[in-house]
């Protein structure tokens, strides 16, 4: 059974940093692209980052480029999202998703982790 | 960036009715469109991939169609558990984008 479990969320002040983690199991992690998708309260889904199987290629929307960094550790079947210079508009539930290459942004999703950026 | 426009924003229907939800892309994306269902306080669930390909475990009343710029998610005879929000998402570009969603509510 595919499982994705996020952790690391919480309350953080504007301008500070936070690192999210996602532990994957039930599939060969190193064979899949992975992605982070977020959802602000009462809002729609927004793609945040994608990483290739080896980690050599990463993609971001303009809204987070230069502030967020996606990474992975295939030996630990783990995905990460380093978030720097956080803004109030980054407040959202962050989902880890398995992203088949060229396919759905997420064929499997984690339960999500809440990040609140507030002073 | 590829913009996806979903319509209508809200659709009010009676259980047992059949419905069609629309997703229009700002440029041709072949069949690189995927549909998700999100129930309140739950993670999104993949319903249809590549415009019309079914997903294991998803009821057969859900189907998808379209290519190029116009796509449709159809639900044949809506059931009570189907009232939720539906999103389309494109993977034609590596810069993924989602539509703003269609809320299916009980009339």
Average confidence (pLDDT) over B40-55: 97
Please give the pLDDT value at position B68. Answer: 98
pLDDT confidence of A103, banded at 50, 70, 90?
confident
The gap from C-alpha A78 to its chain's centroid, in whole angstroms, comes to 11
pLDDT at site A80: 98
Model confidence pLDDT, tens digit, residues B49-102: 999 999 999 999 999 999 999 999 999 999 999 999 999 999 999 999 999 999
Candidates B31, B43, B57, partner chain A, best to mutate (most A CBs within 10 A): B43
Rounded CA-CA distance A93/A108 in Å is: 16
Q: Which of B1, B45, B91 sits opposite A105 (nearest CB)?
A: B91
Kindly determine whether residue A107 and residue B49, on different chains, have CB atoms separated by under 8 Å.
yes
pLDDT of residue A101: 86
CB atoms within 10 A of CB A62: 8
Q: What does the block give as tokens for B13?
A: 């229907």
Q: How far is A115 from chain B (nearest CA, A)?
A: 15
Q: How would you classify residue B77: left for phi > 0, otherwise alpha for psi between -120 and 50, otherwise beta?
A: left
pLDDT in tens, A8-26: 999 999 999 999 999 999 9
Residue from the list B45, B49, B98 with its beta carbon closest to the beta carbon of A44: B98
Mean pLDDT within A97-108: 90
Question: For the residues A47-71, what does the mean pLDDT come to?
Answer: 97
* Burial class (CB within 10 angstroms; exposed 0-12, middle 13-18, buried 19+) of B65: middle
Q: Is A41 on the interface with B (CB under 8 A)?
A: no
Average pLDDT on A68-94 reads 98
On whether any CB of chain B is under 8 Å from the CB of A45, the answer is yes
- pLDDT for A102: 83
Question: Is B91's CB within 8 Å of A103's CB?
Answer: yes
Using only C-alpha atoms, chain A has a radius of gyration, in whole angstroms, of 13
Residues 15-44 of B with CB under 8 A from A: 32, 34, 36, 38, 43-44
Any idea which residue has 């987070």 for tokens? Answer: A64
**CA angle A94–A6–A61, rounded 5-degree value:** 35
| Confidence (pLDDT) at A105 | 84
Q: What's the rounded Cα separation, in Å, for the pair B66 and A65?
A: 32
Residues of A in contact with B32 (CB under 8 A): 102
Query: What is the rounded distance in angstroms from the CA atom of residue A39 to the CA atom of residue A74?
Result: 26
- Nearest-by-CA chain A residue for B86: A44
Q: How far is it, in rounded angstroms, from Cα B35 to Cα B27?
A: 18
């Amino acid at each position: 059974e595919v499982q994705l479990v996020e952790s690391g969320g919480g309350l953080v002040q504007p301008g500070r940093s936070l690192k999210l983690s996602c532990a994957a199991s039930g599939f060969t992690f190193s064979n899949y692209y992975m992605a982070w998708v977020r959802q602000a309260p009462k809002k729609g889904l927004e793609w945040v980052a994608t990483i290739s199987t080896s980690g050599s290629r990463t993609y971001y929307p303009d809204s987070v480029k230069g502030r967020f960094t996606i990474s992975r550790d295939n030996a630990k079947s783990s995905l990460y999202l380093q978030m720097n210079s956080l803004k109030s508009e980054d407040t959202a539930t962050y989902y880890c998703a398995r992203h088949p290459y060229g396919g759905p942004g997420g064929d499997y999703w984690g339960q999500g982790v809440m990040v609140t950026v507030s002073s | 960036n590829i913009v996806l426009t979903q319509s209508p924003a809200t659709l009010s229907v009676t259980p047992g009715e059949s419905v069609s939800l629309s997703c229009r892309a700002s440029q041709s994306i072949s069949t690189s469109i995927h549909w998700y269902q999100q129930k309140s306080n739950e993670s999104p669930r993949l319903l249809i991939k590549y415009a019309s390909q079914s997903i294991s475990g998803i009821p057969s009343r859900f189907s998808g169609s379209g290519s190029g710029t116009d796509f449709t998610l159809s639900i044949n005879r809506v059931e009570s558990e189907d009232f939720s929000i539906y999103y389309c998402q494109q993977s034609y570009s590596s810069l993924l984008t989602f539509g703003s969603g269609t809320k299916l509510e009980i009339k």
